[in-house]
Amino acid sequence: MKEPQLPPADIPVNSIRPSASTTPKQLRFLVIGAGSRGNAYARAVTTATQGTIHAVAEPHPFKRREFGRNYIWGQGSAKEGQAFADWREWIQWETERRRTDEGPNNSTGIPASGAVGVDGVFICTLDETHIEVIKAIAPLNLHILCEKPLALSLNDCLTVYRTLQPPQGTDQRPQAQSKIFSIGHVLRYSPHNILLRKLLLSDQVIGDIVSLEHTEPVGWWHFSHSYVRGNWRRTTLAGDGSLLTKSCHDIDFILWLLCSPPSLETAVEEGHEPHFPRSISSAGYMTQFRRSRKPATAGDATNCLSCPAERECNYSALRIYNERHLAKGIAGWPVDIVCPDIEDVVQTQGTAAAEEHLLEKLREDYEVGKDSDSDIASRPWYGRCVYEADNNVCDDQVVTFAWDDEESEPRRLAKTATFHMIAPTEKQCERRGRVYGTKGEIEYDSRTISIYDFATAKTQVIDVPPPPPDRKESHGGGDYGLARQYVSAVDAVVNGGLDVERAQARFVGCTLEEAVRSHAVVFAAEEARRDERVVKWKEWWDEKLKTSAAAWAT
């Protein structure tokens, strides 16, 4: 068996700048939302790319100041155009800046105000705001990276597509893409997964793929934090659920391995379409976090701080947020999700005050029948009993895919795949899986790839080096890979003279259309689960596009 070559941990495929100009422009980026994802991308841009974070839009004053201190103005203070209370304020400022600096009376090319704009934007706000932010930013014609999911409904995803790649003329054919677009599907960009894909598609070390099994173990307390008490605990009328908000990048990962060609750039040049699945089905349930599972000793308690069974409950908010984290000096995630200003309290008032501040937030509760459902749904409740919460998303779900033979070139064969999202697990988001081929098997987890060869009956184990300690919370290096590829694509366009379509294919490796279609597969799976039926992908997708186009036309 040929010895596989591991990609360098800090240089994923296609991250080299094309022939840049002798005086390249310094690339500047705005981050909208200074939460965990905004910080992750800012850290990656600052330490691993040729770009800089120039501005931040964040409503929380402490988060905004800390973000600016860490990535923009250091120990100094924000300059004009670097700090905004929200994205609307930034858009207003940027619009005025352009009017002043690029108006008919300014022929010098020097900003009249002395302020400078940005080349691209990282959208890291709450999921439900993505569509509004993108629509508002689109007229500014900036490069965009949007955190996943793109939107919470298929119609909104298609609206994003039409907003960023509008049709041209009466034939309604899309225009050529004018700016780089990337989505936060970080699993595509980790050194581990880049190597796995190379072994499967380019090297074909197990021959033709016959079947794939992929699992995301969410983590027992992580699921209770985000999907029982937190922001993602409820589905909406649009049909989103935990499959979309937690695992849309796992579905994308499967499609990336089994649908997409080894090289998007080559496929674009040769006009090859992805190998679409024939059918999609799914089954999933809210199995654990419901009243029928509540321990009898808990009685009528609805909040951990007043529950007689709190000491015996694994999901005690006191144990998860205080004992497992704050009491051990961890004031970051997930504690800073419960109390966004907890680090400020620790710094200015001490640990005892921080603990009391946390407990005060955990005591907050609601009364069913007294408080309106809209008020209950509008915010998270981190001290709420997990068996008395208002959650309704699946904590156990399986999605099944099937493909037919494709006889046209490049010839691709029938295969199947299954995805399992499961909440009560020891491992937290450490994916694992197995791929069955005609010549062998590959088993993978977050650290290793094991290749078994049928012909030799030998197993080769590849240990993929973990990210450095300062990058351990980076999806196996995927955050850095995604940010690097996005910035490299922007650099290739701005400084390298590469056209947007080629830069998108070469560096991002995923088109806007592919990102939208990946989300559509998630909605198809959810529809299959709710209706207990098998979705025939081609017919389903054609009908959705037809309905959306008709609605858009009116």
Instruction: Tokens for 88, please give them.
Output: 């609307």
Task: Please enumerate in sequence order all residues whose Cβ is within 8 A of that of 349, keeping only pairs 6 or more positions apart, or say none.
Answer: none
Per CATH, domain 206-288+393-472+512-553 is 3.30.360.10: yes
Tell me the CA distances in angstroms from 117 to 80, 105, 169, 337, one per residue in order. 10, 19, 31, 31
Residues of the chain with pLDDT under 50: 1-21, 105-110, 170
422 neighbors 396 (Cβ within 8 angstroms): yes
pLDDT in tens, 131-170: 999 999 999 999 999 999 999 999 999 999 999 986 655 4
Distance CA 275, CA 259 (A): 5
Q: Is 5 helix (H, G, I), strand (E, B) or coil?
A: coil
Distance CA 408, CA 346 (A): 63
H/E segment holding residue 266: helix 264-270
pLDDT in tens, 357-385: 999 999 999 999 999 999 999 999 999 99
Tell me the CA distances in angstroms from 473 to 132, 260, 428, 480, one per residue in order. 29, 27, 11, 11
- 3-state secondary structure string across 440-472: EEEEECCCEEEEEECCCCEEEEEECCCCCHHHC
pLDDT of residue 314: 97
pLDDT of residue 22: 61
Sheet of 181-183, strand order: 83-84, 52-57, 28-32, 120-123, 143-146, 181-183
Residue located via tokens 């049709």: 167
H/E segment holding residue 213: strand 209-217
State residue 177 phi and psi, 5-degree precision. Answer: -65, 135
137 neighbors 143 (Cβ within 8 angstroms): no
Distance CA 81, CA 54 (A): 8
pLDDT of residue 467: 75
pLDDT of residue 237: 64
pLDDT of residue 496: 95
| Residue in 546, 276, 544 with CA at minimum distance from that of residue 414 | 276
203 neighbors 4 (Cβ within 8 angstroms): yes
**Sign of the torsion angle spanned by Cα atoms 492, 495, 496, 500:** positive
pLDDT > 70: what percent of the chain? 90
Question: 130-137 and 87-101 helices cross at what angle (nearest 10)?
Answer: 0
pLDDT of residue 401: 98
Distance CA 105, CA 99 (A): 10
- DSSP string across 268-291: HHHTPPP---SEEEEEEE--SSSG
* DSSP H stretches of helix in 124-232: 130-137, 154-164, 191-197, 220-223
Determine how many CB atoms are found less than 10 A away from the CB of residue 207. Answer: 14
Determine whether 501 is exposed, middle or buried from the number of CB atoms within 10 Å of its CB (0-12, 13-18, 19+).
middle
**What length does the chain have?**
554
pLDDT of residue 13: 42
442 neighbors 456 (Cβ within 8 angstroms): no
State residue 429 phi and psi, 5-degree precision. Answer: 60, 25
- Annotated domain spans of the chain: 206-288+393-472+512-553, 295-377
Instruction: Tokens for 503, please give them.
Output: 């830069």
525 neighbors 420 (Cβ within 8 angstroms): no
